Amino acid sequence: MASIQIAIDTPYVTKREFLRRTGMTSSTFDNLRNAGRIPVMDKPSAKSTVLVNLYKWAEQAAMQQV
């Protein structure tokens, strides 16, 4: 089994920054988030900023079979 290293500069990023980094569209993000495929921090209120958990997202990507 091969090992990989993933460097993450910050544990959480905003939705806007995540979209910038990945090139993903906002509607694709919303669909994947609603399907539970993009891990986000629980929001204390409906108007709070959406924060994506990059650690969990990288972990999910690393566990995928290719």
Mean pLDDT of the chain: 91
Helix extents (H) in the chain: 15-22, 26-34, 54-63
For the segment 37-61, the average pLDDT, to the nearest whole number, is 93
pLDDT band at 10 (very low <50, low <70, confident <90, very high): very high
Q: Distance between alpha carbon 10 and the CA centroid of its chain, in Å?
A: 12
Residue 5: the pLDDT is 80
- Does the pLDDT value for residue 32 go beyond 80? yes
What pTM was computed for the model? 0.83
- Does the pLDDT value for residue 11 go beyond 70? yes
Residue 43: the pLDDT is 86
